[in-house]
Structure 1
Amino acid sequence: MRNSLARQTAAALAFLAVAGNAMLAPIPAQAAGHYKHFKTAIYIPVNVTQSLVDPQVFEHQFARAMSQVPFDKVYIEGYRDNHFASDAEIEAVKRQFQAKGIEVAGGVTLAAGGFNGQFMTFDYESSRDRDTCKRAMALMARHFDHVILDDFTFYTSKSDADIKAKGKRTWTDYRLATMRKVSKDLIIDPARAVNKNVKIVIKYPNWYEHFEGLGFDLAQQPEMFDGIYAGTETRDPVITDQLLQQYESYNIIRYYETLRKDGKNGGGWVDTYSIRYVDRYAEQLWDTMLAKAPEITLFNWHPAAQDTPAEAGARPWAGQDTSFNWDRIVADWKAANPDAAVPPGWGLAAGAALKQIDAVLDQLGKPTGIPTYRPANSSSAEDFLPNYLGNVGIPIALTARFPQDAQTILLTQASAADPDILDKVKRQLEAGKAVFVTSGFVKATQDPKRKDRGFQDLVEVYATGNQVLLNDYYNGYGAGNGASLRDDPKVAPRDVLFPELHYFTNDAWPIIRGVAGARGFPVLLMNRYSKGVLYILSIPSNIGDLYSMPPGVMNSVKTYLMADTPVRIEAPAGVSLFTYDNGAYVIQSFRDTPTTVKVVKHAVDGKARPAAETVPGASRDTVSDVVIPPHSFRVYKG
């Protein structure tokens, strides 16, 4: 098999050499690309690179891919998992794409294989692996001025050499320090020694909450490299091991844009893996673009170019007029290609989704949202919380920089990694602003050994360490009776476990409370401090139970958290709101059935209301209902 492949490769290279420059004369690339608002790229893994050396394979697959998902650029990989392409193979494939007017860049995956799907990185205490890393970077720099690193520039090895080198440091400290040196000594320097003009972009994957434990350094690496890129592949939120929530495909772009001083993130990256229905693929592409990513990369070439059909999956909503009407897309494609010998593939799904989103992006301004502070290299027990909040209709602007200019901010347990966080909170409140903190933030900052008494210097609230099961909810601003937040007055909601917060009555006010038996517990506490207002939001012990509470609970939270935003929505979990600075907004449903969404618009006079004067339910609000089909989005002007 290997000898046969070698003979085929040699024959193809010989053919290319004989064909000469007439066949491979470059065609000028299109100035504007195939889409108005973004560039589309496809990533080509190293084994595919080698197969595309054959001109017949290249021509067939190029035609298949371009006919389904018009693309502007390819990343040609030269190394992955101890497997190298040769200089001749890389150059041959590069020239064929250039002859088609396609922009070319290099790709490399610094990994060493794995065990039954469990990833295995290089062992950077191994001289052999270090040499392989340098060799791979030098190879790519010889052929390209732009090289992207796929996900695997992290560190999992715990060999005897690693254990010895770590010493008494934590694995996190050891890996961060090691990967800073690796970035410079084994990646950047070897590449620039070959090509001083090479630009190296590090692609960060989707599991950002755990990065520092594996050596991804969001505090220093983004400035070490020439650019960064975002993995926006959230895949299916139920069957995958990470259970990434759909909103992250949008939110992670927003976050990565705050990591570099220039505020730039190169684009988003989506694959076709772990998808139970074709709409989920489209949703990831839409949400990446709703965040205004300048480029989308499709991983990888095979799904877009091979003759394998796309699998629609189980879609009970297939007969409805959804945004991604796969049956209609396929029917239109077959009508336009009556003689096609193979059915449409994943490339058609990508092409249709990108065409749809490209058509609406000119209506949307700059993305906005509730600034939510996550310092670089911070992790917490409130794992991926901002994405769950996005899935219950709260537009989030996740940022690595403290948002001191915002009128309202949200701080989670991860925010407490900033050693000066409580002083920053005080300054916000003294300026008359609103600060929302989670129960996890309270727990992380209530250290009684601090001279300033920690969080309790703001308000004497503390996490007791107990947990309570709540199964009923009420809201009420001020003293007196509350209004039930049940869906059905006769049916109690399911039990949800919350951390218990202790507070002093009439000092802090439980404006939304949960009930268990004969006791009430705060879900949203309010306390006035200086000229501002501090809110404490209790997060369920299982963050996923944000979806299990009656929708009225989080809808009530939004009346306070989004009091100064032009629009908010009231809807069940699984409906997201994306807002923009030109007043436009997008409502997207990830639900399987049509959903009625209440849209609440606030009269905006151009002046931010002081937090201490904010009272929800203002009479100037206007309310309307819209129906969003399953797995669909709708764009609205302000």
Structure 2
Amino acid sequence: MNKEKLIYKFLAVSFLLCMACNVILQAKAYQSFKVSIYVRAYEVDKMKDMHWLDSTWTVISRQLDVDKVYLETHRDLLIVDDATLEQAKKFFHDRGIETAGGITYTINEANSFETFCYSNPEHRKMVQEIAEHTAKHFDEFILDDFFFTNCKSDGEIKAKGAQSWTDYRLKLMTEAGRDLVLKPAKKVNPHVKVIIKYPNWYDHFQGLGFNLEEGPQLFDGIWTGTETRDPSGNQHLQNYLSYNVIRYFDNLRPGHNGGGWVDSGGLSLGMDRYAEQLHLTMLTKTPEIILFAYNQLLGVKLSPKFLTPWQGMGTSFNYNEMTAPIRLKDGTSVEPTTMARIAGVVLKQTDKLIHKLGNPIGIESYKPFHAAGDDFLQNYLGMIGLPMDMHPAFPEDQQVVLLTAQAARDPEIVTKIKKQLQSGRDVVITSNLLKAISEKLAEISELRCTDLKAFVNDFGRYGRSGRDLLIPQVQYYTNDAWEMVSAGRPLTGGVSGYSILLRAPYATGNMYVLTIPDDMGNLYDFPAKALNEIRRVMSKDVGVYIEAPSKVGLFVYDNKTLVVENFNDEPVEVHIVTSDKVMKLESLEDEGVLTPLPAEPVQNRRPVTPKNSFRLLLLPHSYKAFLYK
């Protein structure tokens, strides 16, 4: 064989080997999404020590399949040097792992999340230099959720002048994003994609400068914080928010929401709470999840304290599976040691389901930009089995639209409500929205929600709450509107009753008023039968609803699939209610099939839509998924 043929053969073999290597390197660890890890600047800086980097990555990668890492360049005035960033990038690329950059714009995170002061010339210069430094090393970087400002220095007070803090900060941070981050970064690297991560406290964004009206259009992409941790913590983040917030951000700029972001905060309540956050994030069909952070996946050790009392019952998230030895590709086994193992098992389990689900759908709720009122209410409603889908524009193609107090920000809201009702469709408003715009709503129905309150615990034929609930009194003219669900203390055999769900007909539609307790958490105390009636009224567009106690979530998709999830610490019985055309529910996890229960006799005067009901027993903190035909 002559020299030219040998060279040709060598090049051909080398090309094929390279192609094979690329296929191996690009092989997806998951079928339906990517799993990524965010690495804080503190840990990236340690990656100058190759022994530390290799040994820590071995611990994590043996327990969790990873597609991508985000290497942070700055946090708390620590800037990672060029050589360390490039060394870390090469390390991960050599192992087939994608890399991107990250920035946390904090001065001192430990000092009440101290941010930069964006009217301070020195701070502005530093913000720009950090963006340029990051763009030099990465074609993509994400801003961790501190690209807001809580600075109230003398300089900021002077710059604000007579403006409200909200108006001032919205303009300030929009300008800073454009002129201090995006433009400088793209000047250094025209190919760079800059993503802004929005955190979980979306209803309060405007007060700190997060601009949901302009930001999603300004940046190349957005990301969603889905950390719900302990729902009783100082942010009051209900479990359902891990799903709901992604759906809302998806609707801000469709196609530009890159994924969800979860940290280890929920582990304080046991392994199930952390697992639920991961699982709920992926039920949105988001393309990627970022696990925060490298140090937590490495340093939070598996412990019996993560074992919950209901483990061993056959629940969806199985602690024994999490702590079982891991079989490696070379045939050896290792013992799991950190929370990375929990993430690995949960995400692999969820991955088997996600590709079977269609696009999420729900009860559409209108939230105008920068609106306040009924803060985070949709997450509480999600926890009582109402699948939520929040939008920044009034939905015009739905049979039922939910309006909370936030809709009062829209000066044309009554016109939009009347149009909806005159087309033969329905609107559900909250008691707080009624209170905010009762004079305007008098064009539709003369209803009032004053400062008067009532204690209630008896919902009549719908059951009892078990505790006293403080609610606003919704008042109306008899026979112009009518109570569908009432409550008193007591109602049965008592002297006073108050509206929980009120119907006020207008044209060919209905305006319903849903009374929200002063403590939103008391929605969970509503009797199951009262919740069932609320679900029935609000679920026309979804085509399916549940009959169950509170703290049971329903997730519905446009390919006639659904997921029902129990957030309670005890088993619950759930009835899945469909049209009478649906004759079976097929499990998406095994070969199980549910068939309809025998029809119950009609016990009231109201016309009833024919329906079928399917009985399901759900274990604590467990879910079931079905296809209905």
User: Is the shorter-chain TM-score for this pair beyond 0.5, marking a shared fold?
Assistant: yes
Q: CA distance change for structure 1 residues 619 and 224 in 2, over 3 Å: closer, same or farther?
A: closer
Identical-pair percentage: 40
Counterpart in the other structure of 2:341 = 348
Q: Does 1:323 align with 2:323?
A: no
Q: CA distance change for structure 1 residues 86 and 33 in 2, over 3 Å: closer, same or farther?
A: same
Q: Does 1:291 align with 2:268?
A: no
Which one is further off, 523-532 or 213-222? Answer: 523-532
Q: 1:67 aligns with which of 62, 65, 68?
A: 62
Aligned mates of 2:23, 2:103 — CA distance in 1:
26
Aligned mates of 1:462, 1:250 — CA distance in 2:
34
Q: CA distance change for structure 1 residues 147 and 115 in 2, over 3 Å: closer, same or farther?
A: closer
Counterpart in the other structure of 1:532 = 509
Task: Give the aligned residue type for 2:557.
Answer: Y
Contact 2:44 2:80 in 1 (8 A): yes
Contact 1:563 1:616 in 2 (8 A): no
Counterpart in the other structure of 1:279 = 272
Q: Deviations over 1:509-557 (max 9, x none)?
A: 1111112351111111111111211111111111111012222221111
Q: Does 1:109 align with 2:134?
A: no
Aligned mates of 2:446, 2:136 — CA distance in 1:
62
1:471 is paired with a residue whose SS is strand
Contact 1:312 1:326 in 2 (8 A): no
Aligned mates of 1:583, 1:120 — CA distance in 2:
47
2:72 is paired with a residue whose SS is strand
Which one is further off, 503-512 or 51-60? Answer: 51-60
| Aligned counterparts, 1:467-482, within 5 A | 467-474=453-460
Q: Does 1:620 align with 2:610?
A: yes
5+ long unaligned stretches in structure 1: 1-25, 449-453, 475-483, 606-614
| Aligned counterparts, 1:90-489, within 5 A | 90-115=85-110, 118-238=112-232, 240-260=233-253, 262-275=254-267, 276-306=269-299, 308-309=301-302, 312-333=305-326, 343-380=336-373, 382-446=374-438, 448=439, 454-474=440-460, 484-486=461-463
Q: Does 1:497 align with 2:490?
A: no
Contact 1:514 1:521 in 2 (8 A): yes
Counterpart in the other structure of 1:477 = none
**Alpha-carbon distance, 1:196 to partner:** 1.4
Q: TM-score normalized by structure 2? A: 0.89
Counterpart in the other structure of 2:592 = none
Q: 2:564 aligns with which of 587, 598, 601?
A: 587
Which one is further off, 304-313 or 284-293? Answer: 304-313
Q: CA distance change for structure 1 residues 153 and 619 in 2, over 3 Å: closer, same or farther?
A: closer
Task: Give the aligned residue type for 1:265.
Answer: N
Q: CA distance change for structure 1 residues 417 and 352 in 2, over 3 Å: closer, same or farther?
A: same
Q: Deviations over 1:219-276 (max 9, x none)?
A: 11110100000000111212x211200001011110001112x443110000012522
**Alpha-carbon distance, 1:312 to partner:** 4.5
Contact 2:470 2:518 in 1 (8 A): yes
Q: Deviations over 1:299-351 (max 9, x none)?
A: 00123245843565251111210111011331243899998776421111001
**Alpha-carbon distance, 1:594 to partner:** 1.3
Which one is further off, 304-313 or 361-370? Answer: 304-313
2:615 is paired with a residue whose SS is strand
Contact 1:486 1:493 in 2 (8 A): no
Contact 1:559 1:616 in 2 (8 A): no
2:467 is paired with a residue whose SS is coil
Aligned mates of 1:335, 1:552 — CA distance in 2:
50
Aligned mates of 2:570, 2:350 — CA distance in 1:
22
Aligned mates of 1:75, 1:404 — CA distance in 2:
40
Contact 1:200 1:225 in 2 (8 A): yes
1:94 is paired with a residue whose SS is helix
Cα RMSD after superposing both structures: 2.1
Task: Give the aligned residue type for 2:149.
Answer: Y
Counterpart in the other structure of 2:591 = none
Counterpart in the other structure of 2:597 = none
Q: TM-score normalized by structure 1? A: 0.88
Q: Deviations over 1:102-156 (max 9, x none)?
A: 111000001111455x211111122221111111101100000101000100010
Contact 2:241 2:379 in 1 (8 A): yes
Task: Give the aligned residue type for 1:104.
Answer: T
1:58 is paired with a residue whose SS is helix
Aligned mates of 2:371, 2:27 — CA distance in 1:
39
Counterpart in the other structure of 2:12 = none
Q: CA distance change for structure 1 residues 310 and 40 in 2, over 3 Å: closer, same or farther?
A: farther
Task: Give the aligned residue type for 1:534.
Answer: M
5+ long unaligned stretches in structure 2: 1-20, 583-604
Contact 2:481 2:502 in 1 (8 A): yes
Q: Deviations over 1:468-520 (max 9, x none)?
A: 1112113xxxxxxxxx1115xxxx73111111111000000111111235111
**Alpha-carbon distance, 1:566 to partner:** 2.5
Contact 1:278 1:311 in 2 (8 A): no
Contact 1:437 1:535 in 2 (8 A): yes
Contact 1:28 1:101 in 2 (8 A): no
Q: Does 1:545 align with 2:522?
A: yes
Contact 2:326 2:335 in 1 (8 A): no
Which one is further off, 573-582 or 342-351? Answer: 342-351
Contact 1:40 1:71 in 2 (8 A): yes
Counterpart in the other structure of 1:21 = none
2:488 is paired with a residue whose SS is strand
Aligned mates of 2:352, 2:615 — CA distance in 1:
25
**Alpha-carbon distance, 1:414 to partner:** 1.1
Contact 1:473 1:513 in 2 (8 A): yes
Which one is further off, 333-342 or 314-323? Answer: 333-342
Counterpart in the other structure of 2:549 = 572
Contact 2:326 2:334 in 1 (8 A): no
**Alpha-carbon distance, 1:185 to partner:** 1.4
Aligned mates of 1:317, 1:335 — CA distance in 2:
30
Task: Give the aligned residue type for 2:474.
Answer: L
Aligned mates of 1:427, 1:493 — CA distance in 2:
40
Counterpart in the other structure of 1:13 = none
Task: Give the aligned residue type for 2:361.
Answer: T
Counterpart in the other structure of 2:627 = 637
Task: Give the aligned residue type for 2:63.
Answer: Q
